[in-house]
Amino acid sequence: MTSEKESKYGRLEPMLAALEALVRCESPSEDIGACRAVVTLASDIATRVLGIPAQIKEIEGRPVFWWGAEKPDVLLLAHLDTVWPIGSYQPLWEINGDVLRGPGTFDMKAGFVQALFALKGIEGSVALVGTTDEETGSHSSKALIKELSSQAKAVLVLEASLNGKVKTGRKGTAMYQISVRGLASHAGLEPEKGVNTTTEIAHAILKLAALENPEHGTTVVPTLLHSGNTTNTVPDLAILDIDARSFSQAELERVDREIKSFTAVNPRAKIEVTGGLNRPPLQPTSTQALYERAEKVAAAMGMSPLGSAEVGGASDGNFAAAAGAQVLDGLGAIGGGAHAPNEWVSIKSMQERSDFLHALIKDILS
């Protein structure tokens, strides 16, 4: 007997079943056990969908999903980790009309599922690689991504789209932490004997604001801040995290030099800066050729133009471009709410985007 779900979604049913299983297998980046579980599950799903299981590799203690060629001409990049701590997103799975909600649906388990189904019937040198540390900077997997990308004809990144548009440019990123050490004293009786780290970190924040440059989309954002222990004590330790981004590599290098040269206003305070450059920008020069090819494939299929966008968020596509590859990003889900409590995916778009990806892969391989 055909179930209500099968009759309603038709060809989409296997894709939705695969996506539901992956979403219910929560996989925050910091939880290695959870990441291993989701990669194992993804390999099981690949066996059912493609008839061949994926390899499960370990890189610096991190699990990686790998299906296909060892040195692919066409590399599909995805990640299976999410930003959501286990149990923090409820309900885990919810469908309301065309809207499907769940942790990591948009960013980016739907994109992974679309890629998996797009590989059905593909012959040639192609691989789908799914990492588990993208959300925390890809520190373990970036060397692998660069190595594979440097040998590939094309790298297709299954990060979510921007309202259906593919992504032809991304900002580069850098991350820092500034620690200021001072001296505690009683805030009422003898504050002058202390070295106030809150005051010092405030000076640093003003310096950071002055580093921004709208012309190149350069942002330098103070994020997480902790200072002091009690309300009546001059704080002796302050810690500030910083998120810096730009479309220009030269700008990132300028910001890097400036932040690393910060000194304390109070000579009795000590400043330490850790961190640095993470992902280089993804420039349109690395994406234009594949974008033009993708639009031709979409037109041949009778689809509306894809459209393109340059965005502030970074991805593993940045590393691929830095390795010299031709890249096209944002080929994944249509939806919204990445990293937000309303994260969602359009169900009806999943099959079309998967079919389009299948056609694009075949076009590149031919």
Q: What residue segments make up the domains of the chain, in order of their start?
A: 4-171+281-365, 175-279
For residue 168, the number of C-alpha atoms closer than 13 Å in the C-beta half-sphere is 16
Specify the 3-state DSSP secondary structure of 4.
Answer: helix
Q: How many residues does the chain have?
A: 366
CATH class in words for 4-171+281-365: alpha beta
The yes-or-no verdict on residue 8 having pLDDT over 80 is: no
pLDDT at 10: 60
281: number of Cβ within 10 Å: 26
The yes-or-no verdict on residue 146 having pLDDT over 50 is: yes
Whole-number Cα distances in Å, 228 to 195, 224, 268: 11, 14, 17
pLDDT at 337: 96
Return the axis-axis angle of helices 12-24 and 110-118, rounded to nearest 10°: 140
Could you say which architecture CATH assigns to the domain 175-279? 2-Layer Sandwich (3.30)
Q: What is the pTM of this model?
A: 0.90
Mean pLDDT of 86-115: 97
pLDDT averaged over the chain? 96
Query: How far is residue 237's CA from residue 228's CA, in Å, rounded to a whole number?
Result: 6
Specify the 3-state DSSP secondary structure of 102.
Answer: coil
pLDDT at 12: 77
Cis omega before residue 350 (within 30°)? no
DSSP annotation string for 218-272: BEEEEEEEEE-SSTTB---EEEEEEEEEES-HHHHHHHHHHHHT---SSTTSEEE
pLDDT at 6: 43
Mean pLDDT of 230-256: 97
Query: How far is residue 136's CA from residue 68's CA, in Å, rounded to a whole number?
Result: 26
Specify the 3-state DSSP secondary structure of 249.
Answer: helix
pLDDT in tens, 108-127: 999 999 999 999 999 999 99
Mean pLDDT of 92-100: 96
Query: How far is residue 158's CA from residue 109's CA, in Å, rounded to a whole number?
Result: 9
The residues that bridge with 274 in the sheet, in sequence order, are 177
pLDDT in tens, 160-169: 999 999 999 9
**If pLDDT is split at 50, 70 and 90, which confidence band does 5 have?**
very low
Query: How far is residue 344's CA from residue 354's CA, in Å, rounded to a whole number?
Result: 17
